Amino acid sequence: EPEVTQTPSHQVTQMGQEVILRCVPISNHLYFYWYRQILGQKVEFLVSFYNNEISEKSEIFDDQFSVERPDGSNFTLKIRSTKLEDSAMYFCASSEGDRGYGEQFFGPGTRLTVL
């Protein structure tokens, strides 16, 4: 069964450094998303991406964050100048779009630890 994959599973970085989290969405999906979950808190929407551009972004997704689909398979989240409060699980998701009913399929997540 097709699934969303994410790398790395755990990323440790120093405050102020840049990190890139990578995702491979399900191959025939059209919409891509990033969510994050701070330990013990709710899963929060960050951004959605369709047709090579951002569809919607939350207040969390400020200039520190960017997303890119550099090729036909990868979807990346870049966090510049990381802060302690960026420590969280980051989940990538994808959905079929108009051909489906909007259900999203999530990856296993990347645990980001900022020291």
Residues that bind other proteins (CB under 8 A): 4, 31, 33, 35, 42-45, 48, 50, 55-56, 89, 91, 93, 95, 97-98, 100-109
Q: Which is nearer to other proteins, 82 or 110 (CB)?
A: 110
Report in angstroms how near the CB of residue 115 gets to other proteins at its nearest: 20
Q: Which residues pair with 44 in a beta bridge?
A: 36
Contact between 107 and 7 under an 8 Å Cβ cutoff? The reply is no
Place of tokens 């701070």: 38
Between 76 and 108, name the residue whose CB sits nearer to other proteins: 108
Shortest Å distance, C-beta 81 to other proteins: 26
E strands in 1-115: 5-7, 10-13, 19-24, 31-37, 43-50, 53-57, 65-68, 75-79, 88-95, 105-106, 110-114
**Shortest CB 23 distance to other proteins, Å:** 11
